[in-house]
Structure 1
C-alpha cells in the first residue's frame, strides 16, 4: 500500500459476504508515517468467514487514496 499522506488518518475497510448479505468485516488502520507497508490480516477467526460460503470481498478507503499492489488469501490448517 503506497501513497499515504502522513498528515491524514487512513483506514481500509474490508468486508465480505454472500450474494446481497454482508457477513462480516474488519477495519485496518494504516500507519500514517509509512509510505509503504505490508499487512497480514487474520479474518479466519471471524465465524462467518469460515462458516458461510462467502462469494465477495469489498475494500473501501477512508481518509484518502490508497494504492494496493497485492492481495493474497491463504488457508492455514
Structure 2
C-alpha cells in the first residue's frame, strides 16, 4: 500500500469531526487499529472498517456489536 492511505491522528479527527483525544481513546480501547510510532498512523482501510462497525446495526455478531458500542461509549465519556 502507498503512504497516501496512511493518516495521522489529526487527519482522522478531521474526518470524524472529533478531537485528537477522542481518536486516541478509540485507539487505546481497541476500537480503531493503528501503527505504533511517532507519529501514530492509521490505515485508511482501518478507519473505514471502524466506521462500518460503528454504524448502528452494522455488526452481525452481537458480541462484536456490544464490544464496539462499549468502546465508543468510553471514548465519548472521556471526551466530555
Q: TM-score under structure 2 normalisation?
A: 0.25
Rg larger in 1 or in 2? 1
Q: Which has the larger strand fraction?
A: 1
Q: Which has the higher contact order (CA 8 A, sep 6+)?
A: 1
Q: Which has the larger helix fraction?
A: 2
